[in-house]
Structures are given as C-alpha cells and as structure tokens.
Amino acid sequence: MPTSLRYVFRRLVQALPMAFAIVLLNFLLLKLTPGDLADVIAGESGSATPEFMENLRRLYGLDIPVHLQFLNYIQGILHFDLGYSFRQGMPVGELILERLPATILLSLTAILFALLIGVLLGVVAARSRGSLLDEAISVVSTMGFATPLFWVGLMLIVLFSIELRWLPSAGMVTVGADYRGRWDEWLDIGRHLVLPAVTLSLFFLSIYVRITRSAMLEVYGLDFVRTARAKGLTEARVVIRHVLRNALLPIVTVTGLQLGAIFGGTVVVETVFGWPGLGRLAQEAVFSRDVNLLLGIFLCSSFIVIVVNLAVDLLYAALDPRVEVRQ
C-alpha cells in the first residue's frame, strides 16, 4: 500500500475516538439544556396535563435514562441510522442528504470568492506597501472583520433586492418558475446564490487579505527572491512563480480551518436569506428541541471537518516538498 494511502487510513482510524467524543459531548450538552420535544409540543398545544406530558415522553423515548438513550443512539449510528426527526416527519439521514448540497454549494462558493479576491487584494497590498492603496485595502479588510454578517446580509437585501431589484432576496429558486431547460434553472440558482455567498465570504476575505499580505512581505525579504531578480526575471514572474507560491502555504492552512468554521456562518446567513441548507435546518431544530436532528447535523459537520483537514494536510505536502506524509 502506498505511503499516502497508509497515512489516510491511519488518520481516519485516529478520527474515530474524536468522532465518539464529539457525539458524546453534543449529546450531553443538548440533554443539559432546559426543555425537550415534549415541552415544545405541549407549549404549542396551549395546555397539557401531566398525563399528556408523560405519554409524550414515553412516545418519543424520553422517559428512559440518559445513558440508555445515548447507547441507543450509538447503536443506531453503527447501523448507519441517525434516528427520526419527529418534528420534520422524516429520517434524519434523509433530511441531511436533502439539505447538504445547498450548504456545500453556498460554503464552497463563499470560500472560493473569498480566496480569489482576498489573495488578489493581499498581493496588491504587498506590492504597494506603505502606499495609499495599501492603507485603503487594510481599512476595508478591518471593516470586514468588524461588521456582523446578519447586518451585511440585510443591507445587501435592501440595496440589491428592494431598491435596485437586481437580485432575489430569499430562497434558492424562484417559486413556481417554469424553466425551459437545465441552464435556466442553474441561472436562477446562481442569481439566488450571489447575495448569501458574498455576505458569507466577507469575513473570510478579510482574513485572506491580511495573511496574503503578511506572507508575501515575509517571502520578499528572503535570499532566493533577490537571486531571482538578479537573474533578470520579470517582476511578474518573481511574484507569481517564487513569492506567491511560497506564500500560499499559510493560506492553505487557514483555508482548511475556515472550511471547518464556516458552518457557524451558514446558520446566520441561511436564516437571513432563507437558504434551504443545514444551517437553517439546525436553527429550526434548536427551537423545536429536535435532539436527533441536531446530533445528526453536528455529526455530519464534524465528519466534513475531519475530511477537509486530511485533504489540507495532503495538499500541504504537495505544495511544500519539505513536508513529508509519513506512515
């Protein structure tokens, strides 16, 4: 077996205890929160007797001890069964598979936009260090750090959806749209994707600007850059072939971390724009005390983080020959 495959297998095996710890911690935290599904249903009904509450808890399996509930849940996971969402009326696995593509589309679009624009602005800022343009880019990136995502989303809706009427304000597709072909459907999804993707990308874009600028300024001072210039290489080739390539290493590391952390941002953005993804589904599950659904979403997001970090390690080794993938 090749060394890289052995490394991947070893990392996946090491991830099993971590996944178990994540499931256990999430389960205990959700059980420690006040209220349960029976309380939510009783509150919606307006009144409930103790007998009615007892029957609800017996119906949903909430009357058995917590440790037995956890063991039953683990047994279900081992059989690839994430449980049943009584609020949504569907198996949790089907719900996640139904909503996951929308969240992946939003997250990857936001990361790619932030990566392209952030790296470009970081290169420009490093090339014009100390100039007015460098200061302007720094101010804009600082504003991206400080501005809440929900406020940015609302302002974009007011400007581009209400005032200019250029882009839709909510949803993933136009309700009742009569598409003439697959291209019309993709175009409609793309129009709905613009505002939430831009909103979600602003914070991460600011990070890429600062990291790219710092990394490039550090590489500019190394000996091999001066050697490349002494050989008569053009400045564009020095920047792209030598400086930017070496500055990409910290960017790759941060990208892996952000892909894991971006789920927290999707909860806010998907709620503001009505985007039918996992983030909005998690928000609905919190308010309805749907423990099975929340645990399934957390487990799915944890698995994605583990896989992304593994991919980043392999990509890091490919970009930097000094880094070896060991068995």
- Angle, alpha carbons 43-281-187 (nearest 5°): 140
pLDDT of amino acid 47: 63
pLDDT of amino acid 3: 63
CA pair distance 144, 130, nearest whole angstrom: 20
Residues 153-172: b if buried by 16+ CB within 10 A, e if exposed: beebbeebbeeeeebbbeeb
Domain ranges for the chain: 2-91, 98-326
User: Which class in CATH covers the domain with range 98-326?
Assistant: mainly alpha
pLDDT per position as a tens digit, 222-235: 667 677 777 776 76
Contacts by 225-228 with C-beta closer than 8 Å and gap 24+? none
pLDDT of amino acid 324: 56
pLDDT of amino acid 196: 92
Residue type for position 65: P
pLDDT tens string, the chain, 327 residues long: the values are: 466 677 777 777 777 888 888 888 888 887 777 777 777 777 666 666 777 777 777 777 777 888 888 888 888 888 888 888 877 888 888 899 999 899 989 988 998 898 899 888 888 888 888 788 888 888 888 888 788 888 888 999 999 988 888 888 888 888 777 777 788 888 888 899 999 999 988 888 888 888 888 887 777 766 676 777 777 767 677 776 667 777 777 787 777 777 767 777 788 888 889 888 888 888 888 887 788 888 888 888 888 888 877 777 777 666 665 555 554
On whether the CB atoms of residues 91 and 84 are closer than 8 A, the answer is: yes
pLDDT of amino acid 195: 92
pLDDT of amino acid 282: 87
Nearest-10 Cα torsion for 40, 45, 48, 51: -80
pLDDT per position as a tens digit, 2-20: 666 777 777 777 778 888 8
- State both tokens at 281: 């589904």
Instruction: Return all residues near 120 (Cβ < 8 A) that are at least 6 apart.
Output: none
